Amino acid sequence: MAAGHSDTFHHVRDFPHFELPFGMKLELPNLFGLQLTKFMVLQLVVCVISFLVFRGLSRRVAGGRPVTGRWWNFWEALALFIRDEVVRPTIGDGHHGHDDEGHEETSAGGGHPADEYLPFIWSCFFYVLLCNLLGAVPWLGSATGEINVTGVLAVTAFGATLFYGSRELGVGGFWLAQAPHIDVAGPLKLVLLPMIWVIEVIGLFIKHGVLCVRLFANIMAGHTVIAVILGFIAATSGSAWYLYYPVLGASIGGQIAIGMLELFVAFLQAYIFAFLATLFISMAIHPH
């Protein structure tokens, strides 16, 4: 293998360039002291794709018209799945929003009360999904295989949990609600309640930290395995034909199999991130 590619994790690292076939590189510019990197560009591409897809989809569902075409049906099916199988069942219908005058109301259009959280959860799901899928395109990469990216996503989910929980229960009420009600004698309660509150608050931070590590580890591991399997070809390139060709065939077959698994993982990890973000919001707005 080339010296620049001796790093096992080279395939999942961020660089100020795109690597192209035959050893060529597409260098990225430095804008006003900010060096653009591959993952920065890919995240911008994800934002553009998301805007174009859902702008087109929103036009087609305007006025209650049915969506036609496989392309648009695919995206609508994903959006409806997240709404009907993740957000509404997880948050439930016991929560009701309030308008500026304090009057109880449901979501716009008389929909399910949990629908007010849909924009954030949809954004999480499709952003993670598209970042994951770009990793299946040769010479690109998955920005979600970088822990700094998944860390920011986890912080965003944590911020949403705090925001929605504080809006529903009040800032003080949200933090006090971290300790569940316990039916024990007074002196024992004075001892147990602070301990449980500390454990629950620490758990709140840990749970969102898991969002970061889970997504990063799964995406990074899959791409690293693909790189290692293909590395066997380079490792045996100078060997006899009876060793090189079996390794070549096995490596290509293994790469295809792992690639198909990675495609499944791309959807699975986006679903898990969206589900856990929804679950944490539900726990925040419903006191223990």
pLDDT digits (tens, 9 = 90+) for 77-111: 999 999 999 999 999 876 544 444 444 444 444 57
Number of domains in the chain: 1
Which residue range forms the structural domain that includes residue 75? 3-285
For residue 6, the model assigns a pLDDT of: 55
Q: Regarding beta strands 30-31 and 25-27, do their DSSP bridges make them parallel or antiparallel, or are they unpaired?
A: unpaired
| Separation in Å, CA 34 to CA 19, 75, 281 | 20, 34, 35
Phi, psi torsion values for 31, nearest 5 degrees: -105, 110
What is the mean predicted confidence (pLDDT) over 237-251? Answer: 81
| pLDDT at residue 106, as a whole number | 46
